[in-house]
Structures are given as C-alpha cells and as structure tokens.
Chains A and B, each alone.
Chain A
Amino acid sequence: DTEVTQTPKHLVMGMTNKKSLKCEQHMGHRAMYWYKQKAKKPPELMFVYSYEKLSINESVPSRFSPECPNSSLLNLHLHALQPEDSALYLCASSQEVGKQYFGPGTRLTVT
C-alpha cells in the first residue's frame, strides 16, 4: 500500500466554522507533512511531524492547528479561517530522503 488518503476531497466552510482535514497512511512512514497550494503555484510547507512530534512549523497562523494522534494519522484543525485561506491542502509522508508520497489533497473554499 503506497497510498496517502485525504478526506474530505472538497470542503466549503464559513469564516466562523470549525472543521478538520484528515490524512492517513499505512506505509509505516514516520514523517508527515501539511502543505498549502494555491492555483498555479508550488506547494508551501506548513507543518512537519517526525515520530508524531511537531518538528517544523513554518510560522503558520494559529487558526490552523495540526495534530498527529498516531503514526498513521495526521489532522489539520481549522477555525475562523479567512477567504484567502482557500486553497488545495496537501498531505504527504516520507521515510527515505526526498521521496515524499502526496495525497490527492482537500480543496478548501472559505466563504
């Protein structure tokens, strides 16, 4: 199984809502990542978890809150988002150098 799954595929939320994005992998990878990607732009790293501990936070606003409940799961909790937060949110995992496996992403629209 070389797949990273993400749910939901699409999400529309208001600025006062609280929602969560989920990511799951069963490849035994110990590093997991959240990226934000705007249209026609490269992915921007948000967070990195290594062995279930947050190792990199790229100065992401606190309205985004990551969580790694176990080695297979990664969540991104969303609260009080702004319209400019609308984007494709990608999850990835890796074990060996550079080979990050990406999920299909969640397309988020904030209204």
Chain B
Amino acid sequence: AQSVTQLDSQVPVFEEAPVELRCNYSSSVSVYLFWYVQYPNQGLQLLLKYLSGSTLVKGINGFEAEFNKSQTSFHLRKPSVHISDTAEYFCAVRTAYSSNTGKLIFGQGTTLQVKP
C-alpha cells in the first residue's frame, strides 16, 4: 500500500518570496511522483512529474521539485511566488511500471496563500 503525507495544510507567504511545499510518501515498491495544482473553481493541472532519471524536475510556472529516495520526499519549490500562485497543491504517487490506468494516491493538499 502507498500513502502520501503533505506536511503543511496551509502555507502563507509574501509575494516574491521563495516557497517550499513538503511531500513525503510511503511505498514498498518503486513509484512515480507528481504535483498537481488546483485553482479556485477549476480542475487539477499537472505541474510536474518524476518518472526516472534526474532527481531534479522542472515544471510549469517556474516550479521545480527534487526526488529524494532516501528520505522518501518530493518537495515542491519556487524561488519567487506571485499572487497568481495562490491555489491548492496536491502531491500524488502511483506504482511505477503499472499500466497507464494505475491509481493515483493523493496527499491531503496544501493551500498556498500568497500575500501582497
């Protein structure tokens, strides 16, 4: 069984400051890792994913994440946030090498609140 823990339910930050949203996972098998963003009253949008290879993954909107296998973490970072980054962020995992319809396991979400 797999699980995902997002360590912060809310992260307030001032505009142009850096931010890190933390995600830890638990799994007995290899996993793929994802970060999704959900803006108010919208569906989810994929920010970035780690499947294999380089542990530093760059995504859209200036976000990046680093896969750390020994710490079972996949923290999301952005060096300078904008008001428009205010949203709900979900970390997710799924079993590696499974079929395309493999189930995504989501964390509980982190609300990023960017203040002017």
Across-interface contacts of A43 in B (CB, < 8 A)? 44, 90, 106
The 7 A-B residue pairs with the shortest CB-CB distance in the complex, in nearest-first order: A102-B43, A42-B106, A102-B44, A31-B101, A50-B101, A104-B43, A48-B101
Closest to B41 in A: A104
Count contacts between A and B, CB distance < 8 Å.
60
Closest to A99 in B: B46
Determine whether A94 belongs to the interface, using a CB cutoff of 8 Å to chain B: yes
Distance of B86 from chain A, by nearest CB (Å): 15
Consensus secondary structure, chain B interface? loop
Determine whether A55 belongs to the interface, using a CB cutoff of 8 Å to chain B: yes
Interface footprint category on A:
20 to 34
Closest to A42 in B: B106
On whether the beta carbons of A41 and B109 are closer than 8 Å, the reply is yes
Known: A42-B90, A43-B44, A104-B42. A98 touches B103 (CB 8 A): no
Determine whether B32 belongs to the interface, using a CB cutoff of 8 Å to chain A: yes
